[in-house]
Chains A and B, each alone.
Chain A
Amino acid sequence: MSKYSLIIDDELCWGCRTCEVACKQEYEHKIKFIHVQEDGPRAVGNEFIYFHRPTVCRHCDEPPCEGACPESAISKRDDGIVVLDYDTCSGCRNCIDACPYDSVGFDEEKQIALKCNLCHHRVDRGLIPACADNVCLAHCIYFGDPASIHEQIERKRRKRQTK
């Protein structure tokens, strides 16, 4: 079974927020599951720490949200994708509190929790998740096998001359 991950190398992220709008377009301009957060700037000595960090569900190996859900609406698939089933969700919000990455949202209208399901409706039909489908100008959003992604990230890092 292939393993699927969405991994973002935020050292490269420019904060252009295209991934956010790509996600939104996929969900008919209604919701989005990825948010780019600013980290810093903070002065450390003569340097500044200043990042843009895209945050999105990490599809954890042992998802705390899964255990927190009384309806068993959240489950991790064999391919690694953690799916929240909107039909089963009762809107208790336990998963929201359980997620350490603040990656579960809430639909006030429908009164259900919402999270990135890694575009499984696309993945299951051979399409790359919307935010990872070559939209990012930094090419820093990776989808696929985690081991080979980490290797690519390392290779690129070794080549770079910038800070």
Chain B
Amino acid sequence: MSEFTYSNWAREMEVYGYDSMVKSHCRMCHGGCGVLVYVKDGKVKKIAGDPDCPINHGTLCTKGLASTELVYHPDRLTHPVRRIGPKGSGKWERITWDEALDTIAERMLRYRDLHGAESVVLGYGTGRENEAVIYRFANLFGSPNVLTAGHFCYGPRIATSIITCGSNPIVDYENHPKCIMVWGNNVVISNPDCYKGEPFSLALDEGAKLIVVDPRLTRAAARANVWLQLRPGTDAALALGMCNVIVNEELYDKDFVENFVHGWEPFVQRVNEYPLERVEEITWVPRDKIREAARLYATIKPAAIQWGVAIEQQINCADNDRVLMLLMGITGNIDRMGGQVLFRPPNIRNVGQFGAHGMLPREQRDKRLGGDMFRLASRFSIINPKCVWDAILEEKPYPVKMLFFISSNPVMTRDNAKEVYRALEKADFMAVADFFLTPTAELADIVLPAATWLEMDYIADFWKRHGYILPRRKVIQVGECRSDHEMLNDLAHRVGMGEHWWDDFEKALDWILEPAKLKWRDFKEMDFLRGEVAYEKYREEGFSTPTRKFELYSTVLEKMGYDPLPQYRETPESPYSAPEVYKEYPYILITGKRLPGFFHTENRQAPSLRELHRDPIVEIHPDTAGREGIKQGDWVVIESRRGRIRHRAMLFAGLDPRIVAAQHAWWFPEKKDPGHGWAESNVNILTDNSYETCDPAMGASSVRTLLCKIYPEKT
């Protein structure tokens, strides 16, 4: 076996006759994985993992491997286009980049003159690592309105962790936690923000115990020492119940609690409102199991919580994040080796500085949409989507005239899709930058061809909190596609903001790297840069919060007029909060399970990925299926108070019979009409976006927990 080594790139080059191999950094999801890109005759022929990359150690996922199918897809948009028919007519003509950017610039300036900069909304979805450059553009232009997924995805983790302990505590997988509690996350499939499944998997190989909190059985749940199969949306109650056990059995870290937390007494009072009898009733999880999990998590050191987005797409969003952090804190796992660490970034200009948040004038900041309502979100430059739709449709509190979506497909991904569609139809002017003509792009006036990760130079993982940055190196050029960064750098000059930008974007990378005394051309030769690693920094420095303590009791939330301690609120549409609705819609619908191959709305046109999932699937317990006359593989209708969609049924015993699980973001690029079937199976036809169903601090909507009925489709 000695002749065989993993990722033997020299041999690979020789055997297949590749012309070159470029090390780069994938971004088919949130990014993270180091890759080896093999090129022949100017085309990417093979993608493999980079065994030297500290993030993925050479392993990859389906999406990274199939990147070429997206990059070279025949339907890919490779030049700018302008719509020549009515919205949604699918009639486009080719234009030049100059025409496209001049038109966009002219519109932006016109709306700013007539209606204020706030009438121009920029947006991104899960982002192509373009977050910072989009904020930079909006802030310097004077618009406080950047519409992202940040109200219900990752933004809440950032906002709540900064106010609680100064930064997002990242699991220190490198030092092998001995107990891992996976909460609302399927890390091995989703490779979520700041994490990859591989190090998690290795920690289990090293002997970690596993607790999984999930309403749905996953392989991790099947392997778990304890699986807590909670009622959807009751996470905060469950976590408060665990806190209750830890406090009352004195399993907490006494030194940490005595010296480094703020608000212990009110916290104890709060957790005492959640005795296990009550928690069992709320969560449907037997109290003994809750106790067992709490004891395991609190007594094994070091321990870590691997959290995911599911806890944020709820009315309890901010409190879910906070209460899980409090669990990390009181057990002494914060900033401990092998626990969760407040990693320091490398010494470079950070995303906040590059995003130019300090340059947005105060009077513009005060106009941020929904700023009075969702105050924590607003503090972190995040807005709730409905605020934008209302501003377009009703011009309240002021009109929004122009949308510019860069890597975003809100028709598919934002709650209450019908309203989103209406708003996009009404918008005075809309530009989109994307890879394909998506259902959202089909409503635009101009669509720009965006570059994929293989077509750009950038500092990868710049925005993450794991303490690394890595070079993403441009390998190929496809058509006239341009990276979002270069595109905005160019546009910035055309709207007269050139003084804060660069003559070419490489100089922006130099500017970011400057404090490390590096230029892009030096960094490009490196494997990665890592911030200095240190543990228990709070002993010297305290935490970066107003009290310098780990804030169990949040002084920031208190000042904003929110409950300073986490509490549990019942989901707005549940069997208990809406018993009348429940009579007609007798199942709890959960949504958004992660699938190998897809990244939200992306990749349904890549053949190797689409063949993994041909149709949208709703999972349903065999007993429930029997009762509703549904058989394996049937097309079924899922209906909520807001509309109906179709999925195919898969019988799945790993769910409570009272719950069904649908998938999100399904559209059908193979349907050539301009709608591409956006409303057929789009789970957001079913979801609600009314303000009162949103988390009061972050504006997160409850897209993952609602009530539905389900029945066979009539043929």
Q: Which residues of A are at the interface with B, using a C-beta cutoff of 8 A?
A: 2, 12-18, 20-22, 24-25, 29, 32, 40-43, 48-52, 122, 125-128, 133-139, 143-145, 148, 156, 159-163
Contacts and interface: CB of A to CB of B under 8 A. Distances in A.
Nearest to A145: B1
Contact of A137 (B61, B69, B207): B61
A21 B3 CA distance: 25
B612 interface: yes
Which of B204, B210, B221 is packed against the most chain A CB atoms within 10 Å? B204
Nearest to B6: A134
Interface string B198-237: 1001101111111000000101111111000000000000
A18 B7 contact: no
Contacts of A134: 6-7, 49, 51, 57-59
Contacts of A138: 188, 197, 201
Interface in B1-31: 1, 3-4, 6-8, 11-12, 15
A40 B218 CA distance: 11
7 contacts: A16-B61, A25-B68, A29-B69, A41-B222, A135-B65, A137-B61, A137-B188
Nearest to B7: A134
Contacts, number: 155
A138 B69 CA distance: 25
Given A160-B204, A163-B222, A128 B6 contact: yes
B4 A126 contact: yes
A50 B217 CA distance: 8
Contact of B65 (A13, A25, A161, A162): A25
A113 B206 CA distance: 42
Given A40-B222, A127-B4, A137-B56, 20 more contacts: A14-B219, A16-B62, A16-B197, A17-B62, A17-B597, A18-B60, A20-B62, A24-B66, A25-B47, A29-B66, A29-B69, A48-B217, A49-B222, A50-B654, A126-B8, A128-B6, A135-B58, A137-B197, A144-B1, A161-B225
Contacts of A51: 219, 222
A100 to B, nearest CB: 25
Nearest to A158: B207
A143 to B, nearest CB: 7
Given A161-B207, A162-B224, A163-B224, A41 B652 contact: yes
B189 to A, nearest CB: 6
Nearest to A163: B223
B11 A48 contact: no
6 cross-chain pairs, A with B, having the tightest CB-CB distances, nearest first: A14-B188, A134-B6, A50-B222, A41-B654, A137-B198, A134-B58
A29 B207 contact: no
A133 B596 CA distance: 19
Nearest to A129: B4
B609 A21 contact: yes
Nearest to B4: A128
B6 A133 contact: yes
A21 B607 CA distance: 10
Contacts of A25: 46-47, 65-66, 68, 608
Nearest to B597: A17
B61 A18 contact: yes
B604 interface: no
Contact of A125 (B15, B51, B196, B222): B15
A52 B49 CA distance: 23
B84 interface: no
A159 to B, nearest CB: 5
A136 B59 CA distance: 6
A49 to B, nearest CB: 8
B653 interface: yes
B17 to A, nearest CB: 12
Nearest to A25: B65
B48 interface: yes
B201 A144 contact: no
